[in-house]
Structure 1
Amino acid sequence: MPPNQDPFLDRRTALALGLAALLAGCASAPAPRAPVAVGGPGRRAPAAPMAPTKPPLDLDPAEREAAVAQAMLLVNTPYTYGGNTPRGGFDCSGLIQYVIRQVSGENRLPRSTAQWAAASVPVPDEQMQRGDLVFFNTGAPFSHMGLYVGGEQFVHAPSTGGTVRKVSLDNRYFAARYMGARRVFAA
């Protein structure tokens, strides 16, 4: 250790770096954290107005239930930044990519949350169906996503140290960051 260096500060720095890695989010590029005001805990924002920026995916609607079942089978799979397989773990967009690929056979799918948002169509909350995608602002618009499984629940890969899980859209954290639902399956 160099002279005059406090070993306590080294431990605090290592702890801070470890905590930052633990709290890392999805595969999208990190952005400065900014709170999103949507009316308080338990209240959801209106559906996001962003229109698709490329031709939206128009997958077979018969695959919706298979996507929900596939996502539910992956609950408890470990989170891995950049992960997109059950063996290697998942981040949020890797989970969606894997699920949709398994049920559709489609190989050219979006990877990042922003790419998924750009390749999907906004859906009003009252028209959400199982298999639709839900998006959140966890530091930047469309920075986190999950698959809606019905009953106001979605499946997602949360963050480092976590596992794929089913969570309520009314969860205090997610309700405050909710951006809306989007569709990749034909109506």
Structure 2
Amino acid sequence: MQQNHSVPETALPAQQAMRHALLFAAVLLLAACASGPQRRPPGSGTSHSALAGLPPRAPSAASAGEANDILFRAIGLVGTPYRWGGNTPAGGFDCSGLVDYIYRTAANIQLPRTSHEMAAMDARKVRKMTQLASGDLVFFDIGGAISHVGVYVGKGRFVHAPNSGGTVRLDDIDGPYWGGHFAYGKRVLD
């Protein structure tokens, strides 16, 4: 006798609510971990952003809801595999495919396909890391040209798809590598 172990349709909203609650808890944990004083033993190899103590900044009051949607979408994609040319969770992401997917699905904003084209968009440029707002695009100059993009989530952290063989991840924007290659941000949501 074969038993059917499928989930009843009435359980689906409960599962979705649970997923949203877990995602919200992850964001709160990120904020809690980043907000307290951070001491590391010398040579521990880990770093936390010096920007973690800055107050959260939204792009504008009018776009705060869109910024929130973008942050939830971005953080929810952490762990998705990297794939050059990829632009879906099922197929994986490269850096610009990830950023376009986040904006397209969370804010209904279609972005150009490459990091170089995104950097050339008509949007307010943010030159200082301390002036970045949640949801800003962040660009990195690697080898003399803009060749990498991510989404700033606040507290000195950004979500991006960094390299082949890796996954979408959350990194310190002012860390040893990324801080040295930071070019500027773009405020798309204003």
Distance 2:176 2:131 in 1: 22
Q: Are positions 1:112 and 2:114 aligned together?
A: yes
Q: Which residues of 2 match residues 17-32 of structure 1 at below 5 A?
A: none
1:77 — aligned with what?
80
CA RMSD of aligned residues (A): 2.2
How many residues are matched? 130
2:136 — aligned with what?
132
Runs of 4+ in 1 over 4 A off after TM superposition: none
Q: Which residues of 2 match residues 46-85 of structure 1 at below 5 A?
A: 60-85=63-88
Once the two structures are TM-superposed, the CA of residue 60 in structure 1 deviates from its matched residue by 4.5
TM-score, normalised relative to structure 2: 0.63
Q: Which amino acid aligns with 2:140?
A: F
Query: Which sections of structure 1, spanning at least 5 residues, go unmatched?
Result: 1-41, 43-58
Identical counterparts, % of pairs: 44
TM-score, normalised relative to structure 1: 0.64
**Which fold has the larger relative contact order, with Cα–Cα distance below 8 Å and residues 6 or more apart in sequence?**
1
Once the two structures are TM-superposed, the CA of residue 61 in structure 1 deviates from its matched residue by 4.8
Once the two structures are TM-superposed, the CA of residue 180 in structure 1 deviates from its matched residue by 1.3
1:13 — aligned with what?
none
1:147 to 143, 148, 151: 151
Q: Which amino acid aligns with 1:135?
A: F
More helix by share: 2
Q: What are the Cα deviations for residues 23-58 of structure 1, in whole angstroms up to 9, with x where unaligned?
A: xxxxxxxxxxxxxxxxxxx9xxxxxxxxxxxxxxxx
1:179 — aligned with what?
183
